[in-house]
Structure 1
């Protein structure tokens, strides 16, 4: 234990004792009692800060939560309570992510009730990222991926109310990615619709319209990975109608090749098309995983999940 950690822990423990003594003071007057509660909450915050400076993250989170409880339950101060729970979550992230999610959710509830939707949305996104990293496990009924999707959905809803379109798109892109590549079994139909919606949204913005082609390619890939060549062809036709530049773009040409290969059950030409595309635009892990599914659907092999046997050479 470093000297700083030791000194800060001692300081924090002293503050905790002071806060508890202040909170337990007897008073005949409600104004004095409320003042004691305010002083106790402020002293708890001093203790939590001392723990944090000393690197005692779990202890800091616990004391921030104590302050949050006083502000929420005794002083009826949702703003200070939300701030305390948010600080607790930030500390718990480093020591116990499950506690971080619990603290963040307490803050989210308070922020939502207070109409501070943007801040609540950001914390929902924090929770989603913790679930996505699998640092926080699911339970018997839901996997961590399902919880991550639900938290991204909640974040997207709150960002929508704040008209934060860029943040909404980021959340929906994560939902589509998780639905298609992490969920078991995958929900490729939902993912394809989300990618299509993202592409359509991009077309409404001069700054983002060039991103539409990438999302449209992802939507087609989801249809094909779902063993739905008809859906892939129909989506391709829609996208060509929505974006007149799509058919002549690298993404559009690649999508057309993929649909042609699936319709013709031609795995060899598919591999060649993927190799040629990868030479210019590197295939990321998500696209590779979808192309594995497409290749196996052509070959009638639905068993594996190993991307290593998809040889682009």
Structure 2
């Protein structure tokens, strides 16, 4: 095997060309030729991936080689599995090289093959969730990340992978509620948390997290200035989780409802400070509570006009 990836790529490019002419088809198998092209692309990819005495390690060039291998497998051989897996390798290498935009493109191509060409939605769901994470954490494309998480959840649910679908829907709901653009987004988040509660109660799964989902719903209802709905949520929570009626989540929600009804910002601040000393508020709750506090400040300023 040559240790010069450029030579390997040149050979691969020649073998990847369509086989034309009756004579050449008689003496040569097009399929074998295309398989050789794929092997050559992969050989070059491995050299770029590891580097050697003559070539420096280059994850992005390695990814491009895998991409070329995927295209030959897809377009010349209709070998969907090989095409998808070569795109996955290209995605991994781009991620290693901090090329997250290209990583998403390659990952999306693999997902499309798994779903549209192979009908393997459960397999695709794993990568769809990874796509959501890159969109959220690396590219900060919040809307696209939410859509990726929700779609992954749908595919897991189709396969009855309840816990995995719940994980996806939770990420979607959390992201939607902290980046909401209007009240409809908050209502959709609340609906998603309610669905998570129903699923967990019916399946008797992870009941300890249900308390947190109820708290999140109650907080979002306060953000919507609907203390009546928040009180109903708390009452429902205590009914469904009778053994946890005095849990810290329900006590906090009751205290915040009282603060909101009294329009007492100082009392709310003190309540949260005391709670945070014993149970650190996570980033989601901190974000939503700040928005609730801002809405109270706005109300207070309106009263002064």
* TM-score between both structures, scaled by the size of structure 2: 0.87
Task: Report what 1:11 is aligned to.
Answer: 4
Q: Is contact 1:217–1:251 with CA below 8 Å preserved after alignment?
A: yes
Note the 1:27-46 alignment, pairs <5 A.
27-29=24-26, 32-46=29-43
The equivalent of 2:13 in structure 1 is: 20
Determine the C-alpha separation between the residues in 1 that align with 2:65 and 2:134.
Answer: 22
SS at the partner of 1:300? helix
C-alpha distance in 1 between matches for 2:50 and 2:123: 25
- The whole-number CA distance in structure 1 between the counterparts of 2:291 and 2:27 is 68
Among 144, 158, 162, the residue aligned to 1:147 = 144
Report the Cα offset of residue 165 of structure 1.
Answer: 1.5
Rounded to whole Å, the distance in 2 between the matches of 1:265 and 1:226 is: 14
Query: Superposed, which structure 2 residues align to 1:167-178 within 5 Å?
Result: 167-178=164-175
- Deviation at residue 183 of structure 1 after TM alignment: 4.0
Query: Root-mean-square deviation (CA), in Å?
Result: 2.3
Q: After the TM superposition, which segments of 4 or more aligned residues of structure 1 sit over 6 Å from their partners?
A: none
In the alignment, the residues of structure 1 paired with residue 300 and residue 266 of structure 2 have an alpha-carbon distance, to the nearest angstrom, of 18
Name the CA distance, whole Å, in 1 between partners of 2:272 and 2:98. 43
2:153 aligned residue (152, 156, 165): 156
Quick check: 1:108 aligned with 2:105? Answer: no
Q: Could you say if the C-alpha distance between residues 252 and 23 of structure 1 is closer, same or farther in structure 2, counting changes exceeding 3 Å?
A: same
Contact 1:82 1:110 in 2 (8 A): yes
- Cα shift readout 1:101-151 (whole Å, capped 9, x = no counterpart): 111111001111313222211111121111102x336xxxxxx11111111
Give 1:205 shift: 4.9
* Match of residue 271 from structure 2: 273
Q: Which of 241, 248, 251 lines up with 2:249 in the alignment?
A: 251
Please tell me whether residue 128 in structure 1 is matched to residue 128 in structure 2: no
CA contact (8 A) 2:180 2:186 kept: no
The match for 1:310 is none
Q: Any unmatched runs of 5+ in structure 2?
A: 52-56
Helix, strand or coil at the partner of 2:4? helix
Cα displacement (A) at 1:185:
4.9
Larger displacement relative to structure 2 (153-162 or 265-274): 265-274
Query: Matches of residues 70-89 of structure 1 in structure 2 within 5 Å?
Result: 70-89=72-91
| SS of the residue 2:296 aligns to | helix
SS at match of 2:25: coil
Mapped partners of 1:154, 1:211: distance in 2: 22
Unaligned stretches of 5+ residues in structure 1:
1-7, 138-143, 304-313
Aligned length: 288
Q: Which moved more, 1:76-85 or 1:41-50?
A: 41-50
